[in-house]
Structures are given as structure tokens and as C-alpha cells.
């Protein structure tokens, strides 16, 4: 008989989106989150059309449109000269070309909208302050008295559920650290456009900036090499660490360093990747989101891939009466897609952080590409329809 209820471990974007995707197919879910309340961590988030389309299917797009910003374009700019190199049109162009919008907002805002939708859905039950650390099926049976036919690990990079799957992928530190800066609208310089996402490309690092309506200012994220501070999303930088970061920008335009020094206390976190391996145990346990395939943010697709996962898994289970068969179909559908996104991120990292003659060649090639051609290169990514 069709599956009636699943257990989801982790109530981040991956877990909440999966629960709502299951509910669309009439499948109930119990979500278990170890935190006593969902905290607002992380930085801004880019929601590309492949994900916003799915959020629209959940009936959440109007709520997001009320608080997010739809940039007119995604612009690539030289970090050493502030010269515009190329841009991908967004705004109305994104809606027309890919059938869904491109928006930017705070990660916590998306999580909050998803959580409220889960709380309002009679097929979804959220259990906070409930840790599932070892032997997920046995732990959940002890906590709830329910023998779930499927446990879904949506518990992130350092997943506990993943340990129950033999041959599952393992996390590793990428060697990069993500730094977040915020500053109010009154500090926005004339060279920083308020109607676009701007990616500043520089030697060995890059910086992405865009407005966040929720904070009445700008969000800036720098990706640079560095040592891991451990399992954290919100490390506070000391003076030595800040000096080290500013040193990464020593060959950049001085106006960028001047702006960074004016911003609020930066926070940072390590960028971990989860490599290749099995995403399910062939019976009753499966992974979604970062637990299965955490990638570095060079393609800005972490949250989008998690949302796609939930929709695909829900469809596979709804269409099959056999859970192992559905899990195999899910993995077969998603692994090539994630691998392609990972490959694009690797390419972007090389291109964004290029130095010397390679940087000059990159700038020349980008300047020769018309916006429509750059947009066409993203059709496979933004035009994708999951689930």
C-alpha cells in the first residue's frame, strides 16, 4: 500500500520543504528538530527560478514576494577596478525566460515562511527540542511509539542520520571560509548598485553583494581561503582574523576595503562539502539537502538543491508502492543533477578567483558575451523542473 507517514530529521529549509512536498501528495510527516526553537542563522540567500517555481507550487510565492527583492540583473564586476564585466538579466526577464522569479532574501525569512506553512498544514507535525542522534529508527520508535516506514535525514552537513547508511558520503572542509558583512542603506556607495546582485571577482577570493529588505541595508558575503573555526554558522571574528581577511583584498580596489571596514562586526563560518556516496540504505532511510550533497556556494544553489530534493523524493514515493524502488529512483534522478551543479560551482570557483593572465583572459571573454548568451548558459539550471 502507498506510504502514509514519514519521519524527517531536521527542520531547516531541506526538512521543511520536504514535509510540504510530501503533504502535496497526501503523505503525512513528523519533523524532529533538536533545537528548542528555530534560530535565525546564516546570511542572505539567492532563490533562483528552479527553486522559486517549487515554492510557488507550495503556495508560498506571494509571501516571499512581499519581503524579498527581485534584482534587475546579476552583474559580474572586477574587484580590482570595479569595472563591469558582464551581466545576466533577471527581474521580468527571469520570469519570462524561466517561468519563475529570481529573488534575494535572508535565509531566516525563507525558513520562517516554510515553518509557518508546516504549522498550518494538518499533515505536518513539528517536534522541536527533539534530538535524533543515533540509530534513527530505534530512537524515533522509543520517542514516539511509531515505527516509521521511512526516515529522511535533512539534518545538514554534520548529519547523524547519514551514519545509518553504509557507504554514505562524508563531509570535508573545503579550505574556504564564508564571511558575512552587513551595512545600512545610508552607507551604500554610489558604485554599488541597489537593483542588482553584484559578484566582485578578484585574485583568490570573491565578494557577492545584494540588498536585503529585511535589514534595511546590504548583505555582503566574501569567500576566501582560511582555517575552519569548527562546527559553527556564526563565528565572531577577532582582530587578527579580520586583519587576515582584509589582507585577502590587498590587490583589490581600495574602495571595497574601505567599505568592509565600515560594516558591522563580520561573522564567518567554514564551508564544508559532502562528497559522493550512497544517499539511502535500500530500505527505510534516505538523505536530502546538505546531508546528502553539501556543496560550496560558488553556484548559489545549496538551498535550491535541497528544495528540489524534497519535491523529487515526494514524487518518487507517491508514484511507487515499493519504498526501496522509490529510493533508488530518487537517487538516480538527483545524483546527476547535483553532480552537474557541483561541477558548475568548481568552474565558477576557478573563474571567480583567477589571477594573472588567466584573470585577464576571463575578463576579456566575459566582456564579449552578450547578456542573452550568458542567460542561455543557465537554462539547464534555472529552467529545470523538479518533482
Q: Which residues are catalytic?
A: 210
The CA-based dihedral angle spanning residues 92, 24, 326, 7, taken in that order and rounded to the nearest 10 degrees: 110
**DSSP letter assigned to residue 81:** T
End-to-end CA distance of the chain: 21
Show the 3-state SS of 149-183: CCEEECCCCCCCHHHHCCCCCCEEEEEEEEEEEEE
Q: Do the Cβ atoms of 370 and 217 come closer than 8 Å? A: no
Half-sphere exposure of 229 (CA within 13 A, CB side): 15
Q: What's the rounded Cα separation, in Å, for the pair 44 and 70?
A: 13
Selection from 3, 58, 7 nearest residue 27 by Cα: 3
Residue 55 — left, alpha, or beta (φ > 0 → left; ψ -120 to 50 → alpha)?
alpha
Among candidates 309, 387, 381, which has minimal Cα distance to 50? 381
The CA distance from 366 to 371, in Å, is: 10
Amino acid at each position: 500500500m502507498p506510504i502514509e507517514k514519514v519521519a524527517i530529521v531536521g527542520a531547516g529549509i531541506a526538512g521543511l520543504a520536504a514535509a510540504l512536498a510530501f503533504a502535496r501528495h497526501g503523505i503525512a510527516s513528523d519533523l524532529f528538530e533538536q533545537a528548542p526553537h528555530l534560530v535565525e542563522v546564516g546570511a542572505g540567500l539567492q532563490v533562483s527560478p528552479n527553486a522559486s517555481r517549487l515554492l510557488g507550487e507550495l503556495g508560498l510565492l506571494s509571501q516571499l514576494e512581499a519581503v524579498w527583492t527581485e534584482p534587475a540583473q546579476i552583474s559580474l564586476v572586477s574587484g580590482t577596478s570595479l569595472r563591469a564585466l558582464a551581466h545576466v538579466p533577471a527581474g521580468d526577464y527571469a520570469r519570462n525566460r524561466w517561468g519563475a522569479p529570481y529573488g534575494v532574501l535572508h535565509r531566516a525569512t525563507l525558513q520562517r515562511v516554510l515553518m509557518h506553512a508546516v504549522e498550518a498544514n494538518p499533515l505536518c507535525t513539528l517536534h522541536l527540542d527533539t534530538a535524533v542522534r543515533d540509530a534513527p529508527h530505534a530512537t524515533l520508535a522509543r520517542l514516539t511509539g511509531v515505527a516509521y516506514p521511512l526516515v529522511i535525514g535533512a539534518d545538514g552537513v554534520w548529519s547523524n542520520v547519514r551514519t545509518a547508511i553504509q557507504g554514505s558520503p562524508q563531509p570535508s572542509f573545503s579550505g574556504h571560509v564564508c564571511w558575512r558583512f552587513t551595512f545600512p542603506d545610508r552607507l551604500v556607495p554610489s558604485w554599488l548598485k541597489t537593483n542588482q546582485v553584484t559578484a566582485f571577482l578578484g585574485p583568490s577570493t570573491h565578494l557577492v553583494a545584494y540588498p536585503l529588505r529585511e535589514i534595511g541595508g546590504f548583505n555582503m558575503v566574501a569567500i576566501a581561503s582560511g582555517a575552519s573555526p569548527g562546527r559553527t554558522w556564526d563565528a565572531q571574528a577577532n582582530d587578527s582574523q579580520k586583519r587576515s581577511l582584509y589582507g585577502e583584498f590587498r590587490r583589490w580596489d581600495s574602495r571595497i576595503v574601505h567599505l568592509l571596514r565600515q560594516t558591522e562586526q563580520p561573522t564567518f563560518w567554514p564551508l564544508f562539502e559532502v562528497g559522493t556516496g550512497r544517499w539511502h540504505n535500500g530500505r527505510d532511510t534516505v538523505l536530502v539537502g546538505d546531508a546528502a550533497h553539501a556543496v560550496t556556494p560558488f553556484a548559489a544553489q545549496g538551498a535550491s538543491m535541497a528544495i528540489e530534493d524534497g519535491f523529487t523524493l515526494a514524487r518518487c514515493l507517491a508514484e511507487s508502492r515499493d519504498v526501496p524502488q522509490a529510493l533508488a529512483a530518487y537517487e538516480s534522478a538527483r545524483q546527476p543533477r547535483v553532480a552537474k551543479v557541483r561541477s558548475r560551482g568548481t568552474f565558477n570557483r576557478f573563474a571567480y578567483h583567477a589571477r594573472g593572465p588567466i584573470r585577464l583572459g576571463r575578463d576579456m571573454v566575459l566582456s564579449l558575451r552578450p547578456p542573452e548568451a550568458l542567460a542561455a548558459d543557465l537554462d539547464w539550471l534555472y529552467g529545470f523542473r523538479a518533482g
